[in-house]
Amino acid sequence: MAERKLLEVLKGRTAFPPPVWLMRQAGRYLPEYREARRKAGSFLDLCYNPDFAVEVTLQPIRRFGFDAAILFSDILVVPHALGRDLRFEEGLGPLMTPIGAEEAVALSMDGFHEHLKPVYETVRRLRQELPEEAALIGFCGAPWTVATYMIAGRGTADQAPARLFSYRHPEALSRLLDDIAAASADYLIRQIDEGADAVQIFDSWAGVLDEKSFDRWCIRPVAEIVRRVRQKHPTTPIIGFPKGAGWLYRRYRRETGVKGLGLDWTVPLDEAGRLQMEGAVQGNLDPMRLVAGGKALSEGVKSIMSALSGGPFIFNLGHGITPETPVEHVQAMINQVREEQSWQPT
């Protein structure tokens, strides 16, 4: 069996056409997902029921033939498994009881893996049911991003509650991130044990941190996750996605040790090319181009492919696909990436 294309690229090889997958590729833009969500009852029921989670993970693979599937779950199942409350409300997203400085040093791993058994079953079943050529990506949230929700109790525009917490209670935040990192590493290890080919660490709120805070709250805990995972699975590729990291992307890759680097849509393509010289890059189409379609989409795809397809590259968005995305635009994007020959390396 030929090696899965995504894994080839993460080892530093060039593949043409490049592997394609999308963050949040299983989601509300698909009518079949909306039907499964309705049957499941709640979002958490969808995440924790392997029958539903397997089904929605496979839906975009069946429809589009992506080169990789990403486990359907949520980054907040980790604090949920650590004993924190969690619910999702329509129009509001995830809601938790905000954590204080004293509670931040009182998390427990008791029952952690038992709570996540349905997720591990989902991974195991996915690897059995996916096409052989499709890679399976496991994931977790980066400790900083997970902590922002735990501290504020919800998502906020600039994560001011977590940033303020970091200045007022740095020791408590350090302990909290250490605990989340240890739990997240165990979580990723178990996903790999059950069949994940690669894993991605999502740091969606890395871009709100200043330089010193970025080093302490973003790089340090992610480096610890990478270290722990590599102790158990030294050859499994790890993709890091520090959204909004800007000129700190290069430092992030070098100091965390991730193999693949997910780029958001604000990263200039000439800088993306320089980052690609140090290893595989992934991204970075603006999700709004995918919503717009037409010339905006085709020009965005062409620019990215022309700049990056000559090196180790995974075509993806610069963040998750949005619910209002027309399905036909996704297919048009895939067709353009896979069928256009003008940017093929010679």
Active-site hit among 28, 154, 216, 338: 28
Closest CA to 162 of 208, 204, 201: 208
The H or E element spanning position 128 is: helix 117-129
Cβ-contact 263, 318 below 8 angstroms: yes
> How remote is the C-alpha of 19 from its chain's centroid?
16
| CA-to-CA separations, 271 to 85, 182, 344, 346, in angstroms, rounded | 41, 32, 21, 23
* Residue 48 is among the residues annotated as catalytic for this protein: no
* Residue 149 is among the residues annotated as catalytic for this protein: yes
Instruction: Return contacts of 269-275, CB within 8 angstroms, 24+ apart.
Output: 269/303, 269/304, 269/307, 269/308, 270/307, 272/307, 272/308, 273/307, 273/308, 273/311, 274/250, 275/249, 275/250
Active-site hit among 4, 29, 33, 37: 37
Cα torsion for 119, 122, 126, 128, to the nearest 10°? 120
Q: Alpha-carbon distance 289 to 336, whole Å?
A: 14
Ramachandran assignment for 149, one of left (phi > 0), alpha (psi -120 to 50 degrees), beta (any other):
alpha
* Residue 216 is among the residues annotated as catalytic for this protein: no
Active-site hit among 149, 187, 249, 252: 149
* Residue 28 is among the residues annotated as catalytic for this protein: yes
Active-site hit among 29, 48, 67, 74: 74
Closest CA to 162 of 178, 146, 184: 146
Annotated catalytic residues are: 24, 28, 37, 74, 149
